[in-house]
Amino acid sequence: MDKPIEPLTKPSRPRRSWRWRVLRAIGIYIGLPYVSLVILMGLFQRRLIYHPTHYARMLVAQSTFAPGTVFDVATTAADGVTLNGWHFLPTGSTAKTPAEVDRQLAAAPFVVLYFYGNAGSRPVNAADCRDLANVGAHVFLFDYRGYGDNAGSPSEKSFLADARAIWTYVTRERKVPPERVLIFGQSLGGGVATGLAAYACGEGTPPAGLILESTFSSIADAAAWHYPFLPVSLLLLDRFPSADRAKSITCPILLFHGTADTIVPIELGRRLFDAFPASSANGIPKQFVEVPGAGHNDVPAAKLQSALKAFLTTLGTAKADRSKHP
């Protein structure tokens, strides 16, 4: 039986098309670096969001505050972490004993819980609290967990739980009625403040008001603005969805935002403002203060204090009207 005739040469492999070579090059030189970047951003996102300053211990006695104007305070979070803070008396007020501080606090028309941004610690943010004290308010400034001299690691869940612990400390342990407490949040602190206000309103104990400065509708919106080429909606662990939480907040609202803010653009502040009810449960319209030319951290103190005084006057008038017509 005859053998089949074998070809003189083996058939060559089909040549790859130029399109395949282009796709391969894209995958190697663009796709792999992009995927690597996405993975790194996902793994280290909390280091990108939170920028704490650490201290072994920060006591008022170690500061340059005038004696009797600022006092050390502390409370304990639900998981046992100690949260250290400072209590600023209104400008012009002093006290020598804890009992005297308590008497002044009991007579205060308004008390502010101040939540700062994603960087620093108490000393870095003390100037803002002095600005608030200048309008006649007592101010409580606590460091977040993992910041200053507090143990723990930052996250949205832990920040909101700690904010509730601070709220409980002020309203129960220090016996300040919720209707006299103003919740103030700056930048990322606005996400914490909004979450706390939503919690308090949901518990039937709304605060006197919610004041926000240079903050966002959500961290996802802010991250998408800074990194439009990344799938941030899939990556983020901490979202601070303030616009979603705003819908359930029934207390009076005041927002500040600079027109030149390049960290949280004013469009995101307006998006958050639009999410709040048009007016509070007691009929006070929400307010948005646009600050021409101001950036993220330089809203002029004079502008802030002027709007705050007007806001407090409105709150005081509404309170007086309710007492006349219960």
Give this prediction's pTM. 0.87
pLDDT in the model for residue 10: 54
Find tokens 């606090």 and name the residue: 105
φ/ψ of residue 19, rounded to 5: -65, -40
Report the chain (326 residues): mean pLDDT per 10 consecutive residues: 54 56 57 57 71 90 92 96 97 95 95 95 92 95 96 95 97 96 97 98 97 96 84 82 97 97 96 97 96 93 91 82 56
pLDDT in the model for residue 247: 96
186 three-class SS: strand
Domain made up of 50-324: CATH architecture: 3-Layer(aba) Sandwich (3.40)
What residue ranges do the domains of the chain occupy? 50-324
Strand partners, 209: 182
pLDDT in the model for residue 108: 94
**DSSP H or E stretch at residue 248:** none
> What amino acid occupies position 228?
P
Asked if 173 and 83 count as a contact pair (C-beta separation under 8 A), the reply is no
pLDDT in the model for residue 235: 78
Q: Is 303 exposed, middle or buried (0-12, 13-18, 19+ CB in 10 A)?
A: middle
pLDDT in the model for residue 106: 95
CA angle 279, 283, 289 (to 5 degrees): 45
Find tokens 């307010």 and name the residue: 287
Measured distance between the N- and C-terminal CA atoms of the chain, rounded to whole angstroms: 115
